[in-house]
Amino acid sequence: MAKKITNRSTTPAKGLDGTAGTGKDRPVKAPYAETLSKLAPHIKMHMEELFSNEEQILKQLRDPKQMNLLMKDPVQFFGKSKIEISPLLKKRMAAFNLEEQFAAQGFVLPNGQIMNPNIKITIKEK
């Protein structure tokens, strides 16, 4: 019997972070790893816990009422979704004010007309 020749590469596949392979020595980074790396270590830990519930959060956000609730009162959204968040994140989310963060600043056109932009936030699943 003749030996069958296959065209297989010996180069390991690249992971999400661009490193070769997915072994213990080369962990694959999550899509949000770059964002987390910019945070302070104590906040990073709490955000990682929150990201572990990403699938459940996205499922809840399919409902437009839940999406509006997240933007207006994040603490209540996570409470209704039965997702535990740390006291640190709860405090920061309670301080969040939608109108203050996304205040539409009007501007005056040369003819004197005042334009006020409308801001619409849409959260979509990839």
Task: Average the pLDDT over 86-105 and give the result.
Answer: 80
Q: Tens digits of per-residue pLDDT, 47-72?
A: 888 888 888 998 998 898 998 888 88
**According to the 3-state scheme, what is the secondary structure of the chain?**
CCCCCCCCCCCCCECCCCCECCCCCCCCCCCCHHHHHCCCHHHHHHHHHHHCCHHHHHHHCCCHHHHHHHHHCHHHHHHHCCCCCCHHHHHHHHCCCHHHHCCCCCEECCCCCEECCCCCCCCCCC
Q: How does the average pLDDT of the chain come out, rounded?
A: 75
The pLDDT value given to residue 26: 42
pTM: 0.54
The pLDDT value given to residue 65: 92
Q: Assign 89 a pLDDT band (cuts: 50, 70, 90).
A: confident
